[in-house]
Amino acid sequence: MNDFNTEFQHNKRHIINHFIVRIGIYLCVTVLAPSLGMAQLEIDGSHGDVSYYDSTYLRYDNYTYAKNVKTVLLHPKGWKLGPPVIELNEEGSILELHFDVLDSAMGNYMYTVIHCDHDWTQSDLDVQEYLDGPPEDYLTDYDFSRNTFQKFTHYYLDIPNFNIRITKSGNYLLKVFDSDDREKLILTRRFCVTEDLIKVEAKVKQATMVKQRYSHQEIDFSIIPDQYMITNPYRDLHVVVLQNHSWEMSIDDLEPRFVKEDRLDYDYEGQNAMSGMNEFRLIDISNPRFTGYGVASVKFNQSENHAYLEQDKSRLSKVYLQREDMNGWYFVKNDLFGGEGTVDADYVSTHFSLKQDKAIADGDVYIYGALTDWRIVPHAKMTYNQKSLQYENTLYLKQGLYNYCYAFVYDGEYEPDLMRFEGAHFQTENEYSILVYHRQLGRDFDRLLSFKTIKYPSN
């Protein structure tokens, strides 16, 4: 009987302690997390590992780890607004990386490239199987800023280059890190290498489904293998559709609707539709001494450039208005002194404001676009000003032209709502890219057979 009582008391304490722990976890998730603003912590629902939020954790994504690194750009050589895609073994098909390190002595940086499968997990290839050259190399090209109040060192790199050549198609992650402390990551950027082995015929139109008809765009396409052998397209093919070259706006679960003799048909009604969104907002801060487009006033104060933007308003209930944009991207430009924008362009404290009669109780407002790496980040979160009845925030941006929009994130949610302040229209001009990956029988990596881009509207 004594043994029974002893065991009973032990189990009782164990059950009570377990219950207390579960209650504690529940309170943290349901009470503390919303009050802290889950989105501002950059919580990603797909990552349960706590170490993911450590600055030394390698993310297979576009991410800037160092706080003093700004204006990271990766694009085709000579095409500032192009997607980071090159053709395998095509002479002259080169990507160029640019980034600034602020207020810092010259660092010693190295880089490497990592081959990934279609879902951006590292492939099983050894580095010597996809690189011709050393597995990593020093980043040796840099310039110091000129005629700027904000001092910085500008680094640049070509991929591929004299030392490193890529020998396989697919997805790649470019990783830059500190050579003196290899655990200290600087930045990561995604890019693709395609082989152009098949044909893709595509068209974009107003969505077919009634509930999507006035807000969405439908991407219908066919894959024509020609002489390329695809044994089992349902198992071996993976197709991704990107909107405006952003991996945050994509469809990646499409299978062929029909398999015909000479083509694979992806003509769906609904599954292949994406929100048309709205044309992005535009500001021109290429000259900090004059008011460019979208700028109400400029000021120079204590060796800092300031640009106060015109007050933005919600466009949710507005009709569609056609205007040119850069599909959410930006490029560096210096109209003050001319010269080379990469080293002669200064940084500007850019003050955003969004009119709102009262603070929104069930979520937070963020500035969003390529200027935030298409991410919900803490420094882009806006605060409500009770006196001026507006949301406000300041971003430190390099001189240039910028697209952006406002995103709303509900408390406890992860995904941004881009319609809350911007609306969505089927007429909006967008670019769509169709990426076709294939895992050949017996191979341990995904080839990128095609990267097809189509504009809507086409004319």
Q: Is the pLDDT of residue 173 over 60?
A: yes
Average pLDDT over every residue of 285-301? 95
Could you give the 3-state DSSP secondary structure of residue 297?
strand
Decide yes or no: CATH 2.60.40 for domain 199-277+428-456. yes
**Residue 157 to residues 111, 137, 138, 293: CA-CA distances in angstroms?**
10, 11, 10, 32
Average pLDDT over every residue of 80-91? 96
What architecture does CATH give domain 50-194?
Sandwich (2.60)
| Phi/psi of residue 236, nearest 5 degrees | -100, -20
Query: What is residue 438's predicted lDDT score, i.e. its pLDDT?
Result: 97
Question: Sorting pLDDT into bands at 50, 70 and 90, what band is 373?
Answer: very high
Average pLDDT over every residue of 399-419? 96
Helix H or strand E encompassing 391: strand 390-398
Q: Is the pLDDT of residue 31 over 50?
A: no
Sign of CA dihedral 232, 233, 234, 236: positive
* Predicted TM-score (pTM) of this structure: 0.88
Q: List beta partners, residue 118.
A: none
Query: What is residue 253's predicted lDDT score, i.e. its pLDDT?
Result: 82
Contact 256, 224 (CB under 8 A): no
| Least confident segment among 132-136, 269-273, 325-329, 427-431 | 269-273
Query: What is residue 105's predicted lDDT score, i.e. its pLDDT?
Result: 73
Q: Catalogue the E-assigned strands of 77-180.
A: 85-87, 95-102, 109-116, 131-132, 136-138, 142-144, 152-159, 165-166, 170-178
pLDDT tens by residue, 331-346: 999 998 777 789 999 9
Average pLDDT over every residue of 152-160? 97
Average pLDDT over every residue of 105-127? 94
State the Cα–Cα distance between residues 274 and 241, nearest whole angstrom.
10
Q: Is the pLDDT of residue 303 over 90?
A: no
Alpha helices in 209-333 (DSSP H): 233-236
What does the mean pLDDT of the chain come to? Answer: 89
Query: What is residue 25's predicted lDDT score, i.e. its pLDDT?
Result: 41
Each as own residue / partner, the long-range contacts of residues 355-363 (CB below 8 Å, 24 or more positions apart, any chain) are 355/311, 355/312, 355/313, 355/314, 355/389, 355/390, 356/314, 356/384, 356/389, 356/390, 356/391, 357/389, 358/389, 359/384, 359/386, 360/408, 362/410, 362/411, 363/39, 363/408, 363/409, 363/410, 363/411, 363/413
| Phi/psi of residue 7, nearest 5 degrees | -65, -40
Query: What is residue 430's predicted lDDT score, i.e. its pLDDT?
Result: 97
**What share of the chain in percent tops pLDDT 70?**
88
Average pLDDT over every residue of 57-69? 95
Q: Which candidate, 24, 302, 347, places its Cα nearest to that of 154?
A: 347
Parse the chain into domains and list their residue ranges.
2-36, 50-194, 199-277+428-456, 281-417
- DSSP state, 372? G
Q: Is the pLDDT of residue 40 over 50?
A: no
Q: Which candidate, 211, 215, 406, 416, places its Cα nearest to that of 312?
A: 406
Q: Is the pLDDT of residue 412 over 50?
A: yes
Q: Are strands 181-194 and 85-87 parallel, antiparallel or unpaired?
A: parallel
The answer to whether 50-194 and 281-417 have equal CATH topology is: yes
Specify the fold of 281-417. Immunoglobulin-like (2.60.40)
**What share of the chain in percent tops pLDDT 90?**
80
For residue 330, give every residue at least 6 positions away whose Cβ sits within 8 Å of its Cβ, in sequence order, or none: 369, 370, 371, 400, 401, 402, 403
State the Cα–Cα distance between residues 202 and 205, nearest whole angstrom.
10
